[in-house]
């Protein structure tokens, strides 16, 4: 088991390193540079270039960059988005905002999705199920940013129920209120995904023979579902929920922009458009870490639960 964990950890680390190298190379090879700005003083440009070792070949640059990252958490300095602030610091300020929104979204999605899934499965092909299934197909299909726009226009602008944009400086109720719409926009698709998955699993289990047995023993429908069916369905569900977090974080890039949330997503978009290279690399790495971290978590939990994976068997789709 330990060997399996180490192997996975090593694989994840290698992937991260490759992504880091690629991100670094990609960003340097990008057309355009902040230093093209004619308003900048040549002396300052020279100083900046000197500091980032931009006059040296790219692998030397990468060496210095890597050394900085490992030795003093130095991910370079932002030059445009927040001039002069270390990229690490810029992100450190923004990660909490993003994580807050994303985690709340996940925490809301899971229970709602589970309840909706159970209801749909129990009411299979009846009114409630039809309604939930229609909702599922809509929420899974329609992109989150479309919902975001709809809610912004109708709920915030027309009905004035919520602020249109996120209020970073507000405190208390107003700030919470300003978080409602972005969180709702982020949560719809995850809720639908969980509902659909759980409904499918439950219906399969409910049709199985041991459920029939449970019923002949006199177990009520609801009790039988929760006790037998749900327990069986919940373990594989973890493998749906955990990677979903990476999706939510990825999806929040756009939502953050739409609601002007000062999170990592907005920073990445700004840094890309402003050629703020160090910051772009740092944000890319943040998303890569979330993604690979969740994948690692799923892998490890698979290994814990299913010994076949551990000994090198293949898990297929």
Partner 1 sequence: MNKKLNSRLAPEDFVLVQLDEDLFDDSFVGQPVSYFGDALIRLSRNKSAIIAFGIIVFIIIMALFGPAMNQFGYNQQMVDRVNLPPRIPIFAKFGVFDGTRILYNRQVANLTDPSRYPEGSILETVRTFTSRDIAMADIKADMYKMHDVPDDINFWFGTDYLGRDLWTRTWRGARVSLMIAVIAVFVNIVIGTIYGAIAGYYGGKADMVMMRFTEIVGAFPQSILATMLILVLGTGIRAIIIALVVRGWIGTARLIRAQFLRFKGREYVLAARTLGVDDRKLIFRHILPNSIGPIITRAMIAVPGAIFSEAFLAFIGLGIQAPEPSMGVLLSDAQKVLTSYPYQTLFPAILISILMISFNLFGNGLRDAFDPTMRGVD
Q: Which residues bind partner 1 (CB under 8 A)?
A: 11-12, 15, 19, 22-23, 26-27, 29-31, 124-125, 133, 136-138, 140-143, 145-146, 149-150, 152-153, 157, 164, 196, 199-200, 203-204, 246, 250-251, 253-254, 257-258, 265, 268-269, 272-273, 280, 284, 287-288, 290-292, 295, 314, 316-317
CA distance readout (Å), 240 to 69, 127, 205, 209: 33, 27, 18, 26
Min dist CB 165 to partner 1, Å, is 11
Least separation in angstroms between residue 52's CB and partner 1 is 18
The CB-of-43 to partner 1 minimum distance in angstroms stands at 29
CB nearer to partner 1: pick between 31 and 57:
31
Question: What tokens were used for 44?
Answer: 């300052």
What would you report as the CA-atom Rg of the chain, rounded to the nearest whole angstrom?
24
Using an 8 Å Cβ cutoff, are 257 and 226 in contact?
A: no
Please give the Cα distance from 3 to 303 (Å, whole number). Answer: 11
Give the whole-angstrom CA distance, residue 65 versus residue 55: 14
* C-alpha triplet 241, 244, 249: angle, nearest 5°: 140
Q: How many CA atoms lie within 13 A of 21 on its CB side?
A: 9
Of the pair 237, 284, the CB lying nearest partner 1 is at 284
Closest approach of partner 1 to the CB of residue 44, in Å: 25
Comparing CB distances to partner 1, the nearer of 24 and 88 is: 24
50 or 308: CB nearest partner 1: 308
Least separation in angstroms between residue 120's CB and partner 1 is 9
Q: Is the separation of the CB atoms in 120 and 195 below 8 Å?
A: yes
Helix (H) and strand (E) counts in the chain: 13, 0
Rounded-to-integer distance, Cα 79 and Cα 89, Å: 13
Length of the chain: 317
Nearer to partner 1, 72 or 143 (CB): 143
H or E element at residue 247: helix 231-258
145 and 255 in contact (C-beta within 8 Å)? yes
- Least spacing, CB of residue 46 vs partner 1, in Å: 26
Please, which residue, 84 or 129, has the CB nearer to partner 1?
129
When the beta carbons of 72 and 182 are compared against partner 1, the nearer one is 182
User: Minimum CB separation from partner 1 for residue 145, in Å?
Assistant: 6
């Amino acid at each position: 088991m330990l060997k399996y964990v180490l192997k996975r950890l090593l694989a994840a680390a290698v992937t991260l390193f490759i992504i880091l190298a690629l991100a670094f190379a990609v960003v340097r090879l990008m057309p355009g540079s902040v230093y093209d700005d004619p308003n900048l003083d040549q002396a300052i440009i020279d100083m900046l270039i000197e500091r980032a070792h931009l006059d040296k070949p790219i692998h030397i640059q990468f060496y210095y960059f890597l050394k900085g990252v490992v030795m003093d958490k130095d991910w370079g300095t932002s030059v445009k988005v927040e001039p002069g602030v270390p990229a690490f610091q810029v992100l450190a300020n923004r990660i909490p905002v993003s994580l807050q929104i994303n985690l709340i979204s996940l925490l809301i999605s899971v229970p709602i999705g589970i309840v909706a899934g159970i209801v749909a499965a129990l009411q299979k092909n009846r009114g409630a199920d039809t309604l939930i299934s229609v909702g599922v197909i809509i929420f899974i299909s329609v992109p989150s940013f479309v919902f975001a726009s709809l809610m912004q226009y109708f709920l915030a602008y027309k009905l004035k129920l919520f602020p249109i944009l996120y209020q970073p400086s507000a405190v208390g109720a107003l700030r919470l209120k300003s978080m409602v719409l972005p969180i709702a926009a982020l949560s719809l698709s995850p809720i639908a995904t969980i509902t659909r998955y759980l409904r499918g699993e439950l219906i399969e289990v409910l049709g199985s023979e041991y459920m029939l047995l449970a019923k002949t023993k006199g177990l009520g429908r609801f009790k039988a579902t929760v006790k037998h069916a749900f327990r069986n369905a919940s373990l594989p569900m973890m493998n749906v929920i955990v990677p979903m977090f990476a999706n939510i974080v990825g999806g929040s890039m756009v939502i953050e922009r739409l609601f002007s949330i000062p999170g990592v997503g907005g920073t990445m978009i700004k840094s890309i458009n402003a050629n703020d290279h160090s910051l772009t690399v740092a944000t890319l790495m943040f998303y890569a870490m979330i993604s690979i971290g969740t994948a690692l978590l799923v892998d490890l939990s698979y290994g814990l639960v299913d010994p076949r994976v551990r000994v090198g068997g293949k898990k297929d789709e």
